[in-house]
Structure 1
Amino acid sequence: MKPQTHPLLHGAATAVLALTLVPTANAALEEIVVTAQKREESQQEVPISISSFTGQGISDFQTVDLSALSGASPNVQIGHFGNTPHGAVFNIRGMGVIEPDPYAGQTVTTVVDGVPLAFNMLSLLDLYDIERIEVHRGPQGTLFGANTTGGVINVITRQPTGEAGGDLKVTLGNWNRVDVKGTVNLPINEQWAAKFTGQSHKRDGWTRNVVDASTMGDRDISSLRGYLKYDSGSTFDATLIAEVTRARNGSPIVTNGSLPGEVTYQAPGSSPGAGLGSMYQGPCSSATTRCKAPDKYLSANSSVQDVSDMDTYSTTLTMNWDLDWGQLVAITGYKDFELYEETDQDGGVFFIDDTRRGTEGRQLSQELRLTFNLAENTEIISGLFYQQNDWTHYQNFRIPFAGPLNQLTEDDWENWSTSIFTHAFIDLTDRLRLQVGARASYEETDAMVDVVTFANTEVGGSSVFDGGVAVAEIHEKGSEDWDGWAAKVGLDYKINEDIMAYAFISRGFKSGGFVGRISLPEEFVAFDQETVQTFEAGIKSEWLDNRLRVNASYFFNKYDDLQLALIYFCTDSLGTTINCNSVLNAAQAETQGLELEIEAAPIDGLMITASMGYLDATYEEFPFLDPASGNTLDRSGTDLQNSPELTASIGATYQFPLLSGSSTLGFRWTYSAEKFQGNLLNTPRGTIQPTKYLDANFKWEPENGSWAINLWGTNLLDDRYIDAVVDAPGFIGLMSYGPPRQVGVSLEYMFN
């Protein structure tokens, strides 16, 4: 049963409406310029659902990575997997990523400075020196390509200004947080400019290891980004961006949520011996009730190193030609990363299972895009896109509960994709515009998986993951190709200068693939692509002399061959109980909902924002073969995972003079209703509670604007939440927790 609307939302909506009814002459909303349709235009002129977040707002509220924006946009959830913090979980309007490893692909693509990120483990970006972030809700297949059936997170970094200057920012906070960020703009001559920006972010984790009292989930991230820009001053400009990021974080945190009788259950208070810690009380009390996050976050790492190291290198070259008859854009992107981490997979004081994982990946992409006028009333955007990805991955899984065994899985993957697209904007009248777009794509994947099971009696030291005698082997490889198409037809009509109505229908698809993490030969199968048909209608409007902006939309999505990840326990050829995985094309689903976004400037200096999203996301046809019982269950009518019925947010900033300077007081409150994670049965243990976060800041700067001090806090009410679950009933329950209260102060110095 879905929960009822939270009563706080009624008060929030009433407050927004009341404040918007008392305008003053000087108040006005700023125009928001976006690139949602591969060209710069006002957000109010773009006939799709978009939320925008400015770089200043991101900085003031100490938004460290994209997950902090979860719930701030209607029907948008952003998080990570329960035992893989690098794996981003984006879900928009009921559609989201299904697997942390690269083989499963994405349904929401993150695009940074025009380059789509192919790997899920790169998508949960660390945010610094950002111009803006655009959240495009719904399928974006014609202009942004395959694997955008849920939407696009479009990130634009701050570009070189060509003027000497920069800034330095130091942040101190609880959990021993220390951040240092700096930017320098260097003009070289009239045509050349450079820019360098970097950051260091360090803090302790907020989970305590009961084995040795150390903190878990520590973060230590350093990044450096450089820009070199050439501008001819007339017909050509080019920008080269190079970035390197070094992360030396603590290992992924797994909190034990298993119940008595399950394989990984460990009784509270039990201990393997003196000085080795005592087991904590887990967050789950029974199989029939929802789990609850404790006031104090506890876990245990009793068997592996506290390590999660990741190095990322990227380069982007963007070139723009202003031709007599159009504009040509070429964007070349390259990214390379290495990830190594060890995880205590049971989260207990007794050793039950753990993993060593390593991934190396590379992506190269090229987009050529031409914009020209076919006629006085017709603008065409056409282009070609190519992307090549390859990655290797290994996972060494120690499973002594099944015997003294190590299961070593090694993947070697290559993927190529090409597409051609065109999108036309046709002014039928001075108020009515027609959009027609299409994209044709071809994709090919070569996959190889080797799985070797070793008998290994080592229980300590450096060889616990190495050596042993091979007792079972699986060697599989395959090659498959897919072709697909996306299309869009829409109309938008300007009722007057301030109100636009629009509607469109579209088709998108997500590519197929192979299952990459297997334990049985029959798991290595190709799964088909999924498709979506969408209808959306909305209105974008401004009122009260540009002091009130109201945007609303309705959407309906129908999905065929929906891809679903299945994690379960099975028996191998040795009779051993092992972890198995699959990706199903077993479902049809429908999602529909309503979205409302409001911005208001009722008085001079005050800006209010509010949003609300309603979502109904259910399976229409889903005969699910439950591997635990062997029975086929009819899951039709049940809710999709990670799809809360209600999301809402309200925020405000108020700027006012104080002590010969300027002060800004801001807050934001976000709400997400109950949702399901963990498995396809929507079990009580796989239920995520409703969440409410309150953030605020107070900023002051002198009249000359040369420096600023910012007092900030996130999750000010210090509410404790479970934010991710892995649930295999009868075997294991794993949890991770949302961040507690964080407070601090930032000092920023700007120089010319």
Structure 2
Amino acid sequence: MRILRAVSLAAVAVSIAGGQASAQTTSEGLDIPSTDSTSTAPVDDDRQRDASSYPNSNTQTVVEDRRSVRLAAGDEIIVTARKRDETLISVPVVVTAVGGEQLAAQGITNLDGIARITPQLLIGNQGGSVEGGNIAIRGVSGPDQNPFGSSAVAFNIDGVNIAKAMVRRMSDFDIAQVEVLKGPQALFFGKNSPAGIINIRTADPTDVLEAKISAGYEFNADQVRVEGYVSGPISDALGVRLAGVFSDMKGDVRDLTPTDSPYYDGSRNPNMRDWALRGTLRYDDGGDFDARLKVNYGELSGNGPAATTAFTSCPYGQRFSNFLGGTIDQCSASDGANSNAGYGTFLSGIGGDISLFRDDGSNFQNQTQFLTGLEMNYRIGDVTLTSVTGYYDVSLDQCQNYENDATVILPSCNVLDYEEISQELRFLTDFDGPLNISGGLYYASTDATTGSITYLFGGNFDLIAPGFGGPTSPALVNNYFFEQKAKAYSAYLQVSFEPVETVSIEVGGRYSKEKKRLPVVLSGGGLSDGIIPGTPFFDEGYVILTADELAQMGDGFDYPLSTLVRRKDSWTDFSPEVTISYRPSDDLTLFASYKHGFLSGGFNSASVTFNEPDGDLDLSYDPQTIKGFEAGLKANLLDRALRVNLAAYRYDIDDQQVTVVFNATNSIRNAAKSRVQGIEFDFNYDTPLEGLSINGAAAYNDGKYLSYPGAPCYGGQNEATGCVGGIQDLSNSELVRAPDWNLSGGFDFNTPVGGAMEFGLNGNVNYVSSYLTDGSSAPNGRQSGYTLLNATARISDIDDTWELAVIGRNLTDKYYIVASSLVPFAFDPTGTGTLLDRFGSISRGREVMLRLSYRFGGN
């Protein structure tokens, strides 16, 4: 039904408006086709096609280099950072573009891997969160652990904008190009995105029949990964492509749970299996109309979302649970170990819609995602109209012992169902004169439900919950079910004026309005609420549902309920943007921009909490806004053998949204004011040695709170260390996930071997300085600086029919964290007010993969 609903909405979207520029010309006089708003050139090996398939009558033959990841001198990378085809050197935006060939050559199979080679981009898993990730650009992030919130870094996958961390799995295969746009992006991607956009273009149908399969085995995690596609024309005007991926991984993290424990659940983590399919249809008869349909579906299952979570700090030299009889000594992310203990068999007998505990007490996670996008373009003279219709649905259920321990058990089940329908209409002019205009409308409707039930038992927990603690007498921690409905409306307009040929002035803005409401909030109480089941909840601004209203909801909820509430809110914003660019030659661009960004407010989707540190009963949090300047220089030097980019920026953020954790419950708060400022530099040099290029990047970022007097205290903080009345002042302190330095360097070398084969070797090193990992700025939540080393060696035939590669990632075997939190219910066994235990979701360690690829057909 949802698929039919999405297709029906796409079908009525023929009233299209807005899109791509007409053919752009590189410095070599080569026309770049523009019918595809996400096309790039040179296109990777999976998108070879004849330029005559494009409708522009003046389009010349496009030479596409299938083999080269880096570009030969004189060629240009084409990006779509502003929904038009522009050369990387000419676009006045700070953007990092990575082609599909480069990703394949380095063995990068997902966006988490791209973050390891992109300065100032951090992506990490979040073990206990249904959102499944934390994402930050330049230290700016959003409510990544709130399924009702939007990420400050959005993903645009084949034109469909989704501000959810989990959607990144939909783009983990058959990628044509990835563009990381840094800084506020208000105009060109539908919804406002204050930190940046990760713009992903997956591969399109080819103009000849071809297929490819790649199979790899990773030794440390015992992982098998198979990826492939079949692509070709159905007719002169219609092409089709079917791509898929399958992965089965036993895990690279040792599980230290004692094998004789009743909660032992396996020896390695994370144990995961996932697969995905993508179908593409592209219609282009060479006329004024073209269309492209992308349909994605994926499933993931594993041994729980916290299988990658490990203790990262034990201030007493051992876990607090060891004072209750535990024996596990893992206390550092660098251990490459954890305890993914189960939760026993008793809880499976507890009824309820959210109580999904298994009979064998095993941890599990099941997730399905569906994403589809339909893009249609229609050209009327010098005006291009575009419609992009998107539909996204994700469903998740999981049960897990979130304490990551075999002595103290914190079993919890979580459910999530999120559905989003979006429609974007755009127009773009391409007049011969100095004035051009682009604009558009955007609409999105979302419906999300989430819930959780959590218990606590094990150890000597009479200390915390008298009368509870045994394996058959668990204490209820929380029990809630939320639903949120939201709508987003926005419109943008940009005017571009070229007073002279070398100068462009662009002025625009986006008006946004977002409305969110909670039709129902069901809370059954628990330790995290500070109440017992049956206590009513009320507060000004909330409406208690009557018995009749409850009856109208049906009998689908059969677990104890103590309260039902309603809440709604709305926010509006206008984000202006001004850009001035100067291009005295084809090899030099100077630009400066003033930008605004906006991230709407929302509601915390967690247990209704009566004893939060500041006593605030309101579930809502405020919007986050950002404004400031950036300037940059892009140049081709040494006869285009050397390409350099330099940028500086300074942005002020009001009410930055930060995540804090209290008693196993995530909560979004607003920091009063913060600032990010810094400088970035990168280069790529094609050396005189045939086939060798080198690259490097350096980025400095100063991110700090200018004013944040009401920040929550960290675990173990007392008055002597700044905690008064449950709050601390973090003014002039550094932001979360905002390392000062990112440094990287690498090389790529390709050379013929024996006339019939080609050998390739590449490597890169990436250094990230230390950064904080949680919203309370706990000193023992700091991730120390780390260095990652990657290298790949490959050999193939000269026609690229087959390839054998050995891929090494994170060869330094560095485990690091992007987010951490206080271990729930950790306590100070000495009573001295020292820091408390913390844990976080650790990165993947060393990877060594052997991969064989074979191509059928093609040119």
Q: Which residue of 2 aligns with 1:709?
A: 804
1:282 to 303, 319, 330: 330
1:77 to 122, 126, 134: 122
The reply on whether 1:734 has 2:839 as its aligned counterpart is: yes
Pairwise CA distance, 1:143: 1.9
Separation in 1 of the partners of 2:420 and 2:440?
A: 20
Contact 1:195 1:226 in 2 (8 A): yes
Contact 1:255 1:346 in 2 (8 A): no
The reply on whether 1:554 has 2:648 as its aligned counterpart is: yes
Separation in 1 of the partners of 2:846 and 2:74?
A: 32
**1:102 aligns to what SS in structure 2?**
coil
Separation in 2 of the partners of 1:123 and 1:230?
A: 26
1:623 to 694, 706, 709: 709
Q: How does 1:104-115 map to 2 (within 5 A)?
A: 104-115=149-160
Pairwise CA distance, 1:103: 2.1
Q: Which residue of 2 aligns with 1:639?
A: 734
Q: Which residue of 1 aligns with 2:107?
A: 62
Q: Which residue of 2 aligns with 1:452?
A: 524
**1:583 aligns to what SS in structure 2?**
strand
Q: How does 1:245-644 map to 2 (within 5 A)?
A: 245-252=298-305, 253=307, 254-257=309-312, 259=314, 265-267=320-322, 270=325, 279-283=327-331, 292-303=332-343, 304-373=361-430, 376-400=433-457, 401=461, 402=465, 403=468, 404-406=474-476, 407-447=478-518, 448-453=520-525, 470=560, 473-520=562-609, 522-569=616-663, 579-603=664-688, 604-626=690-712, 629-630=724-725, 632-644=727-739
Pairwise CA distance, 1:723: 4.3
Pairwise CA distance, 1:437: 1.2
Point out where structure 1 has 5 or more consecutive residues left out of the alignment.
Answer: 1-25, 272-278, 284-291, 457-465, 570-578
Q: Which residue of 1 aligns with 2:297?
A: 244
Separation in 2 of the partners of 1:114 and 1:740?
A: 33
Contact 1:474 1:520 in 2 (8 A): no
Separation in 1 of the partners of 2:316 and 2:106?
A: 44
2:235 to 148, 168, 189: 189
**1:220 aligns to what SS in structure 2?**
strand
**1:623 aligns to what SS in structure 2?**
coil
Pairwise CA distance, 1:97: 2.7
Amino acid at match of 1:282: Q
Point out where structure 2 has 5 or more consecutive residues left out of the alignment.
Answer: 1-70, 260-265, 344-360, 469-473, 527-531, 534-555, 611-615, 714-722, 828-835
Amino acid at match of 1:129: D
Q: Which residue of 2 aligns with 1:668?
A: 764
Q: How many residues align?
A: 692
**1:744 aligns to what SS in structure 2?**
strand
Q: Which residue of 1 aligns with 2:284?
A: 231
Amino acid at match of 1:108: V
Separation in 2 of the partners of 1:215 and 1:74?
A: 31
Separation in 2 of the partners of 1:701 and 1:510?
A: 47
Pairwise CA distance, 1:268: 8.5
Residues 412, 544 of structure 1: alpha-carbon distance in 2 compared, 3 angstrom cutoff: same
Q: C-alpha offsets along residues 89-126 of structure 1, whole Å, 9 cap, x if unaligned?
A: 11111201333122232111011001011433323555
Separation in 2 of the partners of 1:742 and 1:73?
A: 19
1:744 to 835, 849, 852: 849
**2:132 aligns to what SS in structure 1?**
strand
Q: Which residue of 2 aligns with 1:274?
A: none
**2:119 aligns to what SS in structure 1?**
coil
Separation in 2 of the partners of 1:211 and 1:114?
A: 49
Amino acid at match of 2:340: A
Residues 263, 512 of structure 1: alpha-carbon distance in 2 compared, 3 angstrom cutoff: farther
Q: Which residue of 1 aligns with 2:471?
A: none
After the TM superposition, which of the residue ranges 364-373 and 298-307 deviates more from structure 2? 298-307
Separation in 2 of the partners of 1:379 and 1:607?
A: 38
Pairwise CA distance, 1:451: 1.0
Q: C-alpha offsets along residues 344-377 of structure 1, whole Å, 9 cap, x if unaligned?
A: 1111111431211111111111111111146611
Separation in 1 of the partners of 2:480 and 2:363?
A: 22
Q: How does 1:179-218 map to 2 (within 5 A)?
A: 179-209=225-255, 210-212=257-259, 213-218=266-271
Residues 673, 133 of structure 1: alpha-carbon distance in 2 compared, 3 angstrom cutoff: same
Q: C-alpha offsets along residues 520-563 of structure 1, whole Å, 9 cap, x if unaligned?
A: 26534322212111100110001011100010010000111222
Residues 79, 615 of structure 1: alpha-carbon distance in 2 compared, 3 angstrom cutoff: same
Q: Which residue of 2 aligns with 1:167?
A: 212
Separation in 2 of the partners of 1:647 and 1:474?
A: 48
TM-score by length of 1: 0.88
Q: How does 1:99-178 map to 2 (within 5 A)?
A: 99-123=144-168, 125=170, 127-174=172-219, 175-178=221-224
Amino acid at match of 1:101: N
Contact 1:489 1:505 in 2 (8 A): yes
Residues 686, 166 of structure 1: alpha-carbon distance in 2 compared, 3 angstrom cutoff: same
Separation in 2 of the partners of 1:469 and 1:237?
A: 52
Residues 467, 417 of structure 1: alpha-carbon distance in 2 compared, 3 angstrom cutoff: closer
Pairwise CA distance, 1:389: 1.0
Separation in 2 of the partners of 1:379 and 1:467?
A: 56
Q: Which residue of 1 aligns with 2:349?
A: none
Residues 422, 348 of structure 1: alpha-carbon distance in 2 compared, 3 angstrom cutoff: same
Contact 2:191 2:490 in 1 (8 A): no
- The structure carrying a bigger strand percent of its residues is 1
CA RMSD of aligned residues (A): 2.5
**1:104 aligns to what SS in structure 2?**
coil
Separation in 1 of the partners of 2:319 and 2:521?
A: 28
TM-score by length of 2: 0.77
Contact 1:258 1:265 in 2 (8 A): no
Separation in 2 of the partners of 1:394 and 1:450?
A: 9
1:691 to 780, 786, 793: 786
Q: C-alpha offsets along residues 651-679 of structure 1, whole Å, 9 cap, x if unaligned?
A: 21101111331111111111110000123
Q: C-alpha offsets along residues 59-112 of structure 1, whole Å, 9 cap, x if unaligned?
A: 222223211122422322121224338522111112013331222321110110
**2:734 aligns to what SS in structure 1?**
coil
Identity %: 25
Separation in 1 of the partners of 2:557 and 2:633?
A: 64
Separation in 2 of the partners of 1:295 and 1:625?
A: 31
Residues 85, 211 of structure 1: alpha-carbon distance in 2 compared, 3 angstrom cutoff: farther
Pairwise CA distance, 1:181: 1.0
Q: Which residue of 2 aligns with 1:221?
A: 274
**1:598 aligns to what SS in structure 2?**
strand
Q: C-alpha offsets along residues 127-186 of structure 1, whole Å, 9 cap, x if unaligned?
A: 110001000000001222444110000010001113111111111121221111111113
